[in-house]
Structure 1
Amino acid sequence: MTPTRRLSGLFASAEMARAFTLAVLVAVFGSFTIERMTSSVTLTTIVVLLCLLGGAILWVRREELSVLRIAPSSLIAFLGWALVSLMWTTDKSDTLAGWMSLFGFAFLAITIGHIRDTLQTVRALGDVLRGLLVVSLGLEILSGVLLDIPFAFLGIQGNLALGGPIQGIFGSRNMLGFVVVIALITFVIEWRTQSLSPRVAVPSIALAALLAVMSASPTVIVLAAAVGIVAVALTIVRHTPAERRTAVQWVLGALVAAALTAAFALRHPIIALLDAGSDFSTRATLWNTILDFVSPKAIQGWGWFGPWARGEFPFTYINFQLDDHHQSALNAYFDVLLQLGAAGLVLFLLLGGVATVRSWLVASVRRSVVYAWTPLMLVTLAVDSMFESFTIVGAGWFMLVLCALRAGQSRSWRENIDAAHTGVIPTLRTEA
């Protein structure tokens, strides 16, 4: 066998696919620590090398792929609009750098989506998050108990002995809370699919729950409540006979609309109950200021940057007016509206909305509980986007693209086009 064939065989192997997936997940979810312990150049180099490796893997597996189904059209449209914003941005170099980061993480998610199935992805993510959460707890114990000094270079304040809040290796308590909710969903799905034995699954869930409490993040409570409600609703739908499932879906939809209306009407008591008044007040003031800067460029926005670039208008001026140093809009929807305008926000909502509907429909008719992972993850991303901008950068953006791709692989108009060429009629088998 020639060296070229051996190399192709290596890139096409299941072992390479698993190793690549683990490496990507560690780089994505550990990006803050990597950047703080080395530099942004090192993180960029790692992402670029992984993208090149992912490109090689996809090229070797090209016969398994369909060009039409490489990526959701809504994702392509959103990436395209962000790139087009180079035409009117206030800083072309920063916009290009922000877009390259957006594209890089999206490409890694697309690669994993094509070389790993849902269960394999869940198991790999569970393994990585278990390790990162153990490292987070270990460093918090070292900083807050054993040494009693903060690890400033990692953002760890050493408050564990005081009962929190803690940040782990993720930079902030809200990011830790976000990762912990992702971990909890993943660990429970692993357990339910019997991918883990109880002696591993139960300590994993307990660890994630402990870190969720110690993070003292108000968003964790909201995320946990939202995910719990959606999980119950999805369970009801999955156990409803097929002939009554549509009616149940509509009833649940009406209940969700009523709940959202009630939550908005009772927002002030809810905020007081969560003891998040100061946090919400800060966000409300920031969002009102952002709206003032949206109006001059309501359709196209100011150009894509991702995290707010230092020294760039309008971000610096917004912070100047508020006498603060925000690095994002603390809301993914407001951030997209500010940077890409109403057109970009519509594309962003289509990307997440279509993926959520598709994944929900698939999970409601498929017997395996692993199909519930995608809609639960998308709900987590959608709810968290109301309080943070994690979904448009780094791990949050990676998860959004991965879930959107996963949802599109089961229900997509591209299946009909593929069927025209193959003669196979695409169906979604109902497993009641």
Structure 2
Amino acid sequence: MGAPVIGAALELLRSPRATAALTTTGAGLVAIAFTLQQVIGWPGYLAALIVLTLLLVASLIARRDEIDWHWAILPISLLAYLGWAGLSLLWSEYQRVTLISFSYLVLVTFVGVFIGLSRDTIQVIRSFGDVLRAVLLVSLVLEVLSGIIFDAPLAVLNIHGELAEGGPISGLVSTRNQLGLLAAIAVVTFAIEWRTRSVTRYVAIPSLALAAGTIAFTRSPVVGMVTVVLLLAGAALYGIRRLPEERRQFAQYAILAALALFAVLAWVFRAPIIALFNATGELEFRLKLWQRVLDFVPVHWLEGWGWIGIWNSASPPYSGLTPTGGRPHDSALNAVVDLWLQVGAVGVFLFLAVVGLAFVRSWLLAGRRRSVVHTWPALVLVALITVSVAESSILTEFGWLLFVICAVKASAELSWRSALSPRPERPEPLPHE
């Protein structure tokens, strides 16, 4: 009886519907991690994630003959970064917390790797489109209930009931910046769904309106910055894709060089830029926090204090950096500053390497490939990198999941190792597939 049951289960896991369901479940589980942690607690959430991971492993085993493992090349830079974060357990000042936090990081990474290996880009977009629609819609409903109908905060989900005053709102994801980031990525996702006719206009238009409205009601300067950068990046990609093929590569490298120059100029003129965007005191608060964090960096500047991901207020030095009153935060609100504290200069270097490689590969693919679906990873990475200036979202949970998927896709499609192992051109999925 045992063998037939196992065989039937594996056959079920081989089906495209099961793979699609696991992809959507994985994306949704990580997207609403905060809500699940608040409702069922960390043990319950981790148990759900572990069960999902076991199902993903079983699915990969069942589909091992279908997946083109020659194409499934994980980025060496990503593995090196994860390896260093894991090694930090050896010198961590809080080894038990590092072990738990790194295990959580590995679980989320595996979900991202499964999605990247098992689904074409258009299928990933469809799954994330469904997840983001649901998250934004439920977030808005809860905000309406809290801020208008009952006029009372929903403290367990950190919803303050301020929708009637025009926001800010935070929905299912704890903070307005995180909700705004999801909404900005949703705009890109919904627009590509519409362009590829994955959904009808009767779904696409309300979805875009929902995402745009969410961005507006977050009232977040950080999300405003991300939105502007996304619009500029989208316009640049649109222009590149309309150029003759022989001129595209030059235009791509020129834009990448311009981006590097812009980053240098932004650093040089950071003082007036800070003054310009500091209307609500957001940057002033962050500057003070960064200075406090950097005071601890020299103690372990090369190797870091140990990986922790989301800060644990009971572990030093985070116990002295997490306020008991005032504005709460569970990170350094800057990815590089956060990493420098946790995994040192080596970790920062490895992280910047994997981010740089993933972004350049994704950007080049977005300009070269015919299908518009290839612009999704590039624009998602633009959003994640931009928000990293003021948040550490890219390091953990949903931001990290998105990053791993984009990195895996970019590495599989455009890897330096492909030059050492030539392989046939991989067919692109049709928009309607």
1:61 Cα shift? Answer: 1.7
**Shift of residue 362 of structure 1?**
0.9
Task: Deviation per CA, 1:220-240: give whole Å up to 9, x if none.
Answer: 111011111111111121111
User: 2:14 maps to which residue?
Assistant: 12
Shift of 1:292: 2.0
Check if 1:352 corresponds to 2:362: no
Residues 416 and 425 in structure 1, CA contact (< 8 A), matched pair in contact too? no
After the TM superposition, which residues 122-271 of structure 1 pair with which residues of structure 2 at under 5 Å, given as runs?
Answer: 122-264=125-267, 266-271=269-274
CA distance in 1 between counterparts of 2:37 and 2:322 reads 24
Q: 1:43: which partner in 2?
A: 45
Relative distance call for 1:200 and 1:172 in structure 2 (3 A) is same
With over 3 angstroms needed to count, the CA separation of the structure-2 counterparts of 1:4 and 1:427, relative to structure 1, is: closer
**Using the alignment, how far apart are the partners of 1:255 and 1:14 within structure 2?**
42
Structure 2: gaps spanning 5 or more residues:
429-433
Match of 1:99 in 2: 102
Q: Name the CA distance, whole Å, in 2 between partners of 1:305 and 1:41.
A: 17
- The alignment yields a C-alpha RMSD, in angstroms, of 2.2
Q: Report which stretch shifted further, 264-273 or 334-343.
A: 264-273
Cα distance, 1:111 vs structure 2? 0.7
Equivalences for residues 323-342 of structure 1 within 5 A: 326-342=329-345
Matches within 5 A, 1:39-78: 39-63=41-65, 64-66=67-69, 69-78=72-81
1:318 is displaced (CA, Å) by: 3.4
Instruction: Write the distance in 1 (CA, Å) between the matches of 2:115 and 2:337.
Output: 29
Report % sequence identity.
39
- Tell me which amino acid in the other structure corresponds to 2:35: T
Alignment CA distance shift 1:373-1:412 (3 Å): same
Q: For 1:70 and 1:248, how far apart are their aligned partners in 2?
A: 28
Name 2:296's counterpart in structure 1. Answer: 293
Cα distance between partner residues in 2 of 1:277 and 1:264 = 21
Pick aligned residue for 1:380 from 379, 383, 386: 383
Residue pairs, 1:297-316, within 5 angstroms: 297-316=300-319
Distance 1:6 1:28, change over 3 A: same
> In structure 2, which of residues 27, 30, 48 is the aligned counterpart of residue 28 of structure 1?
30
Q: Which runs of no fewer than 5 residues in structure 1 stay unpaired?
A: none
Give, in whole Å, the separation in 2 of the partners of 1:319 and 1:4: 48
Q: How far did 1:402 drift?
A: 0.8
Query: What per-residue deviation string (whole Å, max 9, x for no partner) do you get for residues 353-410 of structure 1?
Result: 1011111111111111100000000111111111111111110111111110011110
User: C-alpha distance in 2, partners of 1:414/1:257?
Assistant: 26
Tell me, yes or no, if the aligned pair for 1:144 and 1:161 is still in contact at 8 Å: yes
Query: 2:191, 2:166 → 1: CA distance?
Result: 26
Alpha-carbon distance change, 3 to 414 in structure 1, aligned in 2, over 3 angstroms: farther
CA shift for structure 1 position 5:
3.0
In 2: Cα distance, 1:311 partner to 1:5 partner: 47
Contact 1:69 1:414 in 2 (8 A): no
Q: Structure 2: which amino acid aligns with 1:26? A: G
Q: 1:387 to 1:221 in 2, by over 3 A?
A: same
Shift of 1:425: 5.0
* AA aligned opposite 1:87: L
Residue 333 of structure 1 and its aligned partner are, at CA, apart by 1.1
Query: Match of 1:34, as an amino acid?
Result: L
Q: Does 1:403 align with 2:406?
A: yes
Residue 431 of structure 2: aligned partner: none
Secondary structure of 1:157's counterpart equals coil
Structure 2 CA distance for aligned equivalents of residues 272 and 332 of structure 1? 22
- Compare 325-334 and 402-411 and name the one that shifted more: 325-334
Give the CA deviation at 1:193.
Answer: 1.1
Deviation digits for residues 82-120 of structure 1 (CA, Å, limit 9, x no counterpart)? 111011101111000010011000000101111111000
Q: CA offsets per residue over residues 14-63 of structure 1, 9 Å max, x none?
A: 01001101111111111111111121111101110111111111111223
1 CA distance for matches of 2:322 and 2:144? 35
Distance 1:29 1:200 in 2: 21
How far does residue 427 in structure 1 lie from its aligned partner after superposition? 7.8
* Contact persistence 1:145–1:160 (CA under 8 A): yes
Equivalent AA in structure 1 for residue 369 of structure 2 = R
Match of 1:390 in 2: 393
Q: 1:262 to 1:70 in 2, by over 3 A?
A: closer
Taking structure 1 as the reference length, the TM-score comes to 0.93
Which residue is equivalent to 2:83? 80
C-alpha change, 1:52 and 1:313, in structure 2 (3 Å) is same
**Distance in 2 (alpha carbons) for counterparts of 1:427 and 1:58:** 21
Question: What TM-score, normalized to structure 2?
Answer: 0.93
1:290-344 Cα shifts (integer Å, max 9, x gaps) = 2221112111000001111122222223347999754210011111111000100
1:376–1:416 CA distance, 2 compared to 1 (3 A): same
Match of 1:282 among 259, 263, 285: 285
Question: What's the offset of the Cα at 1:2?
Answer: 3.7
Structure 1 residues 69 and 427, CA gap change in structure 2 (3 angstroms): closer
The verdict on how the C-alpha distance between 1:206 and 1:359 changes in structure 2, with shifts beyond 3 A counting, is same
Q: Which amino acid aligns with 1:113?
A: G
8 Å Cα contact 2:248-2:368 kept in structure 1? no
